[in-house]
Amino acid sequence: MKGKGARTPRMRVVTIPVGPFVMNCTLLRDEETGKGIVLDPGDEVETVARAVEREKIEVVALVGTHGHLDHVGRAAELKEAFGAPFLFHREDRWLLEHLGEQGRMFGLGALREASVDRWLEQGDRVEFGSISLDVIHAPGHSPGSICLLGEGRLFAGDVLFQGSVGRVDLWGGDGATLVRSIKERLFPVGDAVVVHPGHGPQTTIGEERRSNPFVGEGARGLGL
Ligand SMILES: [Zn+2]
Ligand SMILES: [Zn+2]
């Protein structure tokens, strides 16, 4: 029986706010097979490892939405803990290579760069068990920012937030590119899609398309 309304979700989403930037590390689990991924292994190795155990997830990959320390600061440790490959977009490689500097800048000590096992590009898929998520390259907050789309959900990294958008004053940020990414690559996925941002509460594409003060209807842009 695959009646639409009665269907139980095939994918479990567990959000764990971690670290001083309260970044939403997200665990995704295919409920059929128990296979899953860790999205944005940014901080709190022990907390994330415990949650993976509690949720009975067989981690088959770690994915970084972009190269800022709050999202990939602990990718190296968590990759070792789970023995799973790390997936990332090539255009943020330079940020990953400067993770140590990012850590020192924010007073977070030495962060180790994780080696990348697979480079993700626009149109690629991230698969775990029976779940397949589409990779959307959405530059602007950083050159190699990606979002993952599937099962009626968009995992947006720092591209789009509830009532806001990613900052563009960090390394490699660009306002016009960010607005174009959101309008041309995120809004077309459909109003009903639930958005899980890298920080703060979830929202929907429709809500942001209508009322986001930076990119919604009637918005005046980023004021740049
Ligand atoms: Zn960021
Ligand atoms: Zn962030």
CA of 33 to the centre of ligand 2 (A): 30
* Ligand 1 midpoint to CA 69 (Å): 8
Q: How far is the CA of 21 from the centre of ligand 2 (A)?
A: 7
The predicted-structure confidence for 125-166, as pLDDT tens digits, reads as follows 999 999 999 999 999 999 999 999 999 999 999 999 999 999
Number of domains in the chain: 1
Is residue 80 situated within a structural domain? Answer: yes
What distance in angstroms lies between residue 50's CA and the mean position of ligand 2's atoms?
Answer: 22
Q: Confirm whether 217 is domain-assigned.
A: no
- We report the CATH number of the domain holding residue 108 as 3.60.15.10
222 domain residue, yes or no: no
Among all bound ligands, the one having the nearest atom to the CA of 102 is: 1
Nearest ligand to residue 144 Cα: 1
Distance of CA 110 to the CA centre of its chain: 23
pLDDT in tens, 62-118: 999 999 999 999 999 999 999 999 999 999 999 999 999 999 988 888 899 999 999
Provide the mean pLDDT of the chain: 94
For residue 72, report the distance from its CA to the centre of ligand 2, in Å: 10
CA of 159 to the centre of ligand 1 (A): 8
Alpha carbon of 163 to ligand 2 centroid (Å): 15
Span from the CA of 140 to the centroid of ligand 1 (angstroms): 10
Distance between start and end Cα atoms, the chain:
52
pTM for the full model? 0.94
> By residue range, what is the domain housing residue 102?
11-211
Question: 166 lies in a domain?
Answer: yes
Distance 179 CA to ligand 1 centre (A): 15
